[in-house]
Amino acid sequence: MNFSVSGEKNRRGNSLEEVEEMLRNQKFCTTRKLWKITDENLGQADLEQEDMVIREYNLKVFLNSREVTTLTCSPVDLEYLVVGFLFAEGFIERKGDLQKIAINEEKGIVEVETRRNPEVSEVTPSRASYAKHSDLRVGVDTIFRLAAQLQEKSRVFRETGGVHSAGVADGEEIIVFHEDIGRYNALDKVTGRCLLEEIPLQDKIIIFSGRVPSKVVQKVARMGARILVAVSAPTDLGIELAEEAGITLIGFARNQRMNIYTHPQRIVFSNL
């Protein structure tokens, strides 16, 4: 469906922001025929209908003319995804390392050129590099509010049930938010955007919709963030790495409840 925008509203009365969101959601989603069965429609003859399903897209990443990986992802915010992935894996350290990013969405290829050409053996992020000290403190009510904000912003998930979401909060509200079919991709998109827009993460809170295995904690530690709030459960290795990296790890943050697994000193209870 095409939308014609004139001024602040189009002919349907949608604001420019609403039209942009609809167009964006079209990249995330498509429609497919299905037969939806519920306990209320059993016995009905015609159950065929159309419903929204999430798009899956494969993006082949070339770094300095060498193929690095293929990312299975949502076809949205690909530049952020690639930059975040390269940073998380240690291929780049800062925005200034990037010389060129060329994305061919039709072919599913992105070519990245950097100022240095690291070997694979050089790019494994080191746990020793994790900074553990932080003066950041946050109240319990703020954690609850940010977890609720993440769910409110997760519109594609509500439409399809098929994406993960990640956000960066400044202590009061979520200032960066991204969704993707891959939970690691959602974090990488957040990381890539913050790197390109030069948003420091040491004093920010990461809000995450998925489970928290050790790889998620490693990505958050690589960002430099000190507090990770997840709606779902962590794994034992995720908890161990958060303890080692000095990250306050919170799980099951929903419905005015949460579990603090590591470094509880950053959570303030007096404002409950």
pLDDT tens track for 175-206: 999 999 999 999 999 999 999 999 999 999 99
DSSP-derived 3-state class of residue 227 = strand
Average confidence (pLDDT) over 53-68: 96
Instruction: Check whether residue 29 and residue 138 sit in a common domain.
Output: no
Q: Kindly state whether residue 137 falls inside one of the protein's structural domains.
A: yes
The boundaries of the domain holding residue 264 are: 129-268
**Interval 64-88: pLDDT, tens:** 999 999 999 999 999 999 999 999 9
For the chain, the domain total comes to 2
- Evaluate whether residue 110 is within a structural domain: no
The answer on pLDDT for 5 being more than 70 is: no
Q: If pLDDT is split at 50, 70 and 90, which confidence band does 171 have?
A: confident
Give the pLDDT of residue 128.
Answer: 40
Asked whether the beta carbons of 239 and 261 are under 8 A apart, the reply is yes
Dist CA 76 CA 192 (whole Å): 13
Query: For 198, which DSSP code?
Result: T
- For residue 18, the model assigns a pLDDT of 56
Which ranges in the chain belong to alpha helices (H)?
A: 16-28, 78-88, 140-153, 155-160, 183-196, 214-223, 236-245
Please tell me whether residues 143 and 249 are part of one structural domain: yes
Q: Are residues 50 and 143 in the same domain?
A: no
The answer to whether residues 174 and 264 belong to one domain is: yes
Same domain, 249 and 136: yes
Cα Rg of the chain (Å, integer): 20
Whether the CA torsion 23, 101, 223, 162 is positive or negative: it is: positive
Average pLDDT over residues 135-145: 94
In a domain, 188, yes or no: yes
| 109 domain-assigned | no
Q: Name the amino acid, one letter, at 17.
A: E
Cα separation, 22 vs 52, in Å, equals: 13
> Are the CB atoms for 135 and 265 separated by under 8 Å?
no
Is 139 among the domain residues?
yes
Share of the chain above pLDDT 70, in %: 83
Bridge-partner residues for 71, per DSSP?
A: 59
CATH code at 151? 3.40.140.10
Name the one residue in this structure whose structure tokens are 């604001």.
15
For residue 113, tell me if it sits in a domain.
Answer: no
CB within 8 Å of 235: residues ≥ 6 apart = 211, 212, 213, 214
Name beta bridge partners: 150.
none
**234, part of any domain:** yes
Q: Tens digits of per-residue pLDDT, 210-227?
A: 999 999 999 999 999 999
Q: Quick check: 98 pLDDT over 60?
A: yes
136 is a domain residue: yes
**To the nearest whole number, what is the mean pLDDT of the chain?**
87
